[in-house]
């Protein structure tokens, strides 16, 4: 599974496929969880697009010849055939009764096009998104920071030091990459401590991102620290045994 956003190409370039407000539409830019889908690769080689946030549990559906959000995967109406070209651009073809129709953003609307006609059915699959993370609870107003080559809590967003690139990795895992002065480094829990590692060396730089609704997330460690969570409780940065509450909760902001 991968967390992705789908950017329209052609005349609608800069708009993104959205499931926000429990609808299927084009959003100008990435505003929040409503533009994030989980790309699920199914055993039969097909894919499904699962929603997160308020629409968690629903899937992008083409059943009955229309675009909508279906609860769960009920059949081929929620399955798609993903075509990818040499530029990494993709198109999504319907299966089942709508086979041969494609997910289209042509004419600045979301619909199903008969066959692949061109850029109106072409999307850019992005797996990296710029984010800032605000601590909740007693530390509200402070942000996860990698500035000064350290991991700490900064009062407000002061610059690139509070911006991370959320990179989606196969298997539902994520990595948090730094920008600015620490570019090339990743937030690491390796060796049981929080620090910045040069590149992704292994599971010590990978996390499971849990969504709690309202753009609130928590980060669970993998590898030797599995079961521990990224915590800002007691006004410090550390690894907490299990998810205890707001001390392990962060609000994400798209940058």
- The verdict on 120 and 194 lying in the same domain is no
Say whether both 141 and 241 belong to one domain. yes
Q: Does one domain contain both 75 and 146? A: no
Mean pLDDT calculated for residue range 155-170: 95
- CA distance linking residue 227 with residue 217, whole number of Å: 15
Same domain, 115 and 69: yes
Of 126, 149, 173, which one is at a domain's C-terminal end?
Answer: 126
Chain centroid to Cα 66, Å, comes to 25
Reported as a single tens digit per residue, the pLDDT across 173-210 is: 999 999 999 999 999 999 999 999 999 999 999 999 99
Per-residue pLDDT tens digits for 116-140: 999 999 999 998 889 999 999 999 9
What is the pLDDT at residue 134? Answer: 98
Give dist(CA 116, CA 63) in Å, integer: 19
Residues 122 and 135 in one domain: no
Q: How much is the mean pLDDT over the chain?
A: 95
What is the average per-residue pLDDT within 214-224? 94
- Angle among Cα 147, 185, 228 to the nearest 5 degrees reads 85
Pair (187, 219) in one structural domain:
yes
CA gap 26, 14 in Å, rounded: 10
Residue 79 Cα to chain centre, angstroms: 20
The mean per-residue pLDDT over the stretch 196-225 comes to 94
Choose one of 91, 126, 161: the last residue of a domain: 126
Same structural domain, 45 and 159: no
| CA-based nearest residue to 229, from 251, 253, 208, 203 | 208
How many other β-carbons are positioned within 10 Å of the β-carbon of residue 224? Answer: 13
Last residue of a domain, one of 109, 126, 143: 126
Q: What pTM, to 2 d.p., does this model score?
A: 0.79
Same domain for 136 and 102? no
Residues 81 and 157 in one domain: no
User: What is the pLDDT at residue 115?
Assistant: 98
Q: Report helix, strand or coil for 169.
A: strand
∠ CA 119-120-125, nearest 5°, is 70
Q: Please count the structural domains in the chain.
A: 2
How many C-beta atoms lie closer than 10 Å to residue 167's C-beta?
18
* Domain CATH code at residue 171: 2.80.10.50
Least confident interval from 30-39, 53-62, 103-112, 230-239: 30-39
> Domain residues for 160?
128-254
């Amino acid at each position: 599974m991968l967390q992705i956003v789908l950017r329209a190409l052609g005349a609608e370039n800069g708009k993104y496929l959205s499931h926000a407000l429990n609808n299927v539409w084009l959003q100008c830019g990435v505003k929040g969880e409503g533009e994030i889908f989980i790309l699920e690769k199914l055993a039969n080689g097909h894919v499904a697009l699962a929603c997160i946030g308020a629409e968690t549990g629903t899937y992008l559906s083409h059943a009955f010849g229309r675009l909508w959000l279906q609860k769960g995967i009920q059949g081929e109406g929620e399955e798609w055939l993903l075509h990818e070209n040499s530029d990494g651009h993709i198109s999504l073809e319907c299966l089942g009764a709508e086979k041969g129709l494609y997910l289209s953003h042509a004419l600045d609307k979301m619909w199903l096009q008969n066959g692949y006609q061109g850029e109106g059915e072409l999307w850019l699959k992005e797996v990296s998104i710029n984010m800032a993370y605000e601590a909740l609870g007693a530390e509200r107003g402070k942000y996860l920071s990698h500035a000064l080559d350290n991991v700490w809590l900064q009062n407000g967003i002061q610059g690139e030091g509070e911006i991370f690139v959320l990179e989606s990795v196969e298997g539902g895992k994520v990595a948090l990459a730094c920008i600015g002065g620490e570019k090339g480094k990743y937030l690491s829990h390796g060796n049981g401590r929080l620090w910045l590692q040069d590149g992704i060396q292994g599971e010590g730089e990978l996390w499971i991102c849990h969504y709690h609704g309202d753009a609130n997330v928590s980060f669970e460690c993998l590898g030797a620290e599995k079961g521990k969570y990224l915590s800002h409780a007691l006004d410090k940065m550390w690894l907490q045994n299990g998810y205890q509450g707001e001390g392990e909760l962060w609000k994400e902001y798209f940058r």
